């Protein structure tokens, strides 16, 4: 009994020492590298980003398709999108629009510039106000924006356009180029590479004229007709901007010159569907303006959130992009012919 009593005493003393560690809750953290941070808090999500996307000109199929893509991206990413473009491809009108957007305190502006120089001051002003500025489709001077979202590598595109014409003219004869605004940087770069490629590979071909139309369909049509009349031996027309090929094809068709004059260039498949099928146009080249619109919004949103694009970045629902010297390249150009034109809807 006494021994038992003394044992109980001993045990209780020993176990009293053991108690504190056992009493500190069900989970006794031994080591922690870091806390697991789950999703952003609700407060952060509520602050909706507003992104303004400005095309060169409103209401042409190409930029309408781009708008569709932009809207899709805005829905996917949950941001507020303003898509507003001038009635004509005019830098001055774009400046007005941008000034208005600065006042509205948008978070970011993505612009397809009609003039690289003229837009620079207003874009710099926007940047000063803390607005992210990117360019897409057509660039400004590099100082005025964070980065430029290009559809294709201009060299690749320019050389490819020249190739598509050469395939359809047996690499010889005269040809003309229908371009948009003479001031548009992207068109001029492509034009440059068209000329370089022709000189390097197709000495038997001659560029007779470059006709500008400021992305106006009526003017483009008129120019095409004029060219066909002015140069009766004309073998082909390259539409350097998206209004060019439909106008050229229509002119060729109306003058009954299908097969004689090859029509190639940059245009959307929808307006060219008929011309490709009836032979008034042979190959048109483009990228998906919807995809471009989507990518523009996605990358601009990233920029607002502080994520700069990088080479081989994988953008959801777009794919991998390249990044060369502050210029994003969306992908390779696509060719549309009468065989595959039905697959595309833009």
Partner 1 sequence: MISKLMKFKNYRLRTKLIVTYVLLTVIPISLLGYIAYSQYTKSIEEQVGEYIPKLLEQANENIANQIRELRKFPDLLYNSDEVVEVLRKDAHQSRSSLLQDEFTVNSYLSRTFINGGSQDILGVFVISKNRIFQSTKIPHTNFGLMDYSQSYGQDIQLKTDDIFVLPHQTSLRFEGNPPFVLIMKQLTDLENRTDLGTVLIAVNVTFFEDVINEMSEEGKADLWMMNKEGRVIYHTNPSKIRTIDREFAMYPQINGSFRTTQEDASRLISLNHMDETGWTLAHSVLAGNLTEQTDLVRNATIAVFLVFVAMSTVISILLAWNVSSPLNRLTSVMKRVEKGDFDVDLAIGTTDEVGMLANNFNSMVTEIKDLIRENYQIELKQKEAELYALQSQINPHFMYNTLETIAMSVEDDEKDTVIEMVTLLGRMLRFSIGNKEALVPIADELLHVKDYLTIQKIRFEEKFDFSIQEKIESQNYYTPKFVLQPIVENAVKHGLAYGRVTTIEIGVCLVPGNEGSEEIAFKVKDNGSGIKKETLADIQRTLASDPMAKRDSHFGLSNVHARIAMNFGSGFGLDIISGVDQGTEVEIRIPVLKNGSEGGCHELKEN
Q: Which residues sit at the interface with partner 1, rule CB under 8 A?
A: 2-3, 5-6, 9-10, 13-14, 17-18, 21, 26-36, 38, 68-69, 72, 76, 287-288, 290-291, 294, 316-319, 334, 340, 343-346
Q: With respect to partner 1, which residue has the nearer C-beta, 40 or 325?
A: 40
CB of 59 to partner 1, least distance (A): 19
CB of 32 to partner 1, least distance (A): 3
Any idea what DSSP says for residue 47?
A: S
The span from the first CA to the last CA of the chain, in angstroms, equals: 98
Q: With respect to partner 1, which residue has the nearer C-beta, 17 or 43?
A: 17
CA distances from 28 to 19, 33, 147 (A): 14, 15, 50
CB of 229 to partner 1, least distance (A): 36
Q: With respect to partner 1, which residue has the nearer C-beta, 145 or 290?
A: 290
Q: With respect to partner 1, which residue has the nearer C-beta, 254 or 342?
A: 342
Q: With respect to partner 1, which residue has the nearer C-beta, 259 or 319?
A: 319
DSSP assignment of 81-134: EEE---SSS-HHHHHHHHHHHHHTT-SEEEE--S-TTTTHHHHHHHHHTT-EEE
**Structure tokens that stand for 151 in this block:** 């559809």
CB of 183 to partner 1, least distance (A): 29
CA 189 to chain centre: 16
Report the alpha-carbon distance of residue 329 to residue 296 in Å, rounded. 11
Q: With respect to partner 1, which residue has the nearer C-beta, 29 or 87?
A: 29
CA distances from 314 to 151, 293, 295, 330, 331 (A): 15, 16, 11, 11, 12
CB of 245 to partner 1, least distance (A): 17
Q: With respect to partner 1, which residue has the nearer C-beta, 146 or 153?
A: 153
CB atoms inside a 10 Å sphere around CB 287? 19
CB of 278 to partner 1, least distance (A): 22
CB of 261 to partner 1, least distance (A): 28
Sheet of 80-83, strands arranged across: 80-83, 50-54, 108-111, 132-136, 148-150, 327-329, 319-324, 313-315
Query: H-helix or E-strand containing 154?
Result: helix 154-169
Q: With respect to partner 1, which residue has the nearer C-beta, 41 or 343?
A: 343
CA distances from 326 to 47, 136, 271, 303 (A): 28, 12, 33, 13
CB of 235 to partner 1, least distance (A): 30
Any idea what DSSP says for residue 243?
A: T
């Amino acid at each position: 009994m006494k021994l038992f009593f003394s044992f109980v005493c001993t045990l209780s003393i020993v176990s009293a020492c053991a108690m504190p560690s056992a009493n500190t809750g069900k989970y006794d953290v031994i080591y922690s590298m870091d806390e697991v941070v789950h999703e952003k808090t609700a407060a952060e999500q509520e602050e909706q980003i507003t992104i303004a996307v400005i095309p060169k000109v409103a209401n042409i199929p190409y930029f309408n398709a781009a708008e569709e893509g932009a809207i899709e991206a805005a829905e996917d990413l949950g941001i507020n999108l303003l898509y507003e473009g001038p009635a004509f491809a005019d830098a001055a009108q774009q400046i007005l629009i941008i000034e208005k957007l600065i006042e509205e305190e948008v978070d970011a502006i993505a612009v397809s510039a009609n003039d690289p120089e003229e837009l620079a001051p207003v874009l710099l002003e926007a940047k000063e106000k803390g607005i992210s500025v990117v360019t897409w489709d057509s660039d400004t001077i590099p100082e005025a924006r964070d980065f430029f979202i290009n559809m294709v590598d201009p060299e690749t595109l320019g050389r490819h356009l020249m190739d598509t014409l050469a395939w359809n003219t047996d690499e010889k004869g005269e040809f003309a180029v229908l371009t948009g605004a003479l001031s548009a940087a992207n068109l001029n770069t492509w034009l440059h590479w068209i000329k370089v490629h022709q000189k390097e590979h197709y000495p038997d071909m001659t560029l007779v004229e470059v006709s500008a139309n400021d992305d106006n369909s009526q003017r483009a049509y008129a120019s095409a007709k004029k060219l066909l009349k002015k140069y009766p031996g004309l073998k082909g027309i390259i539409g350097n901007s998206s209004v060019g090929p439909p106008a050229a094809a229509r002119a060729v068709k109306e003058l009954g010159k299908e097969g004689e004059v090859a029509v190639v260039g940059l245009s959307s498949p929808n307006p060219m569907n008929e011309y490709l099928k009836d032979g008034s146009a042979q190959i048109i080249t483009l990228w998906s303006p919807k995809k471009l619109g989507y990518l523009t919004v996605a990358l601009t949103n990233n920029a607002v959130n502080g994520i700069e694009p990088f080479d081989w970045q994988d953008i959801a629902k777009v794919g991998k992009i390249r990044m060369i010297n502050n210029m994003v390249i969306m992908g390779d150009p696509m060719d549309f012919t009468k065989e595959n034109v039905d697959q595309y809807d833009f």
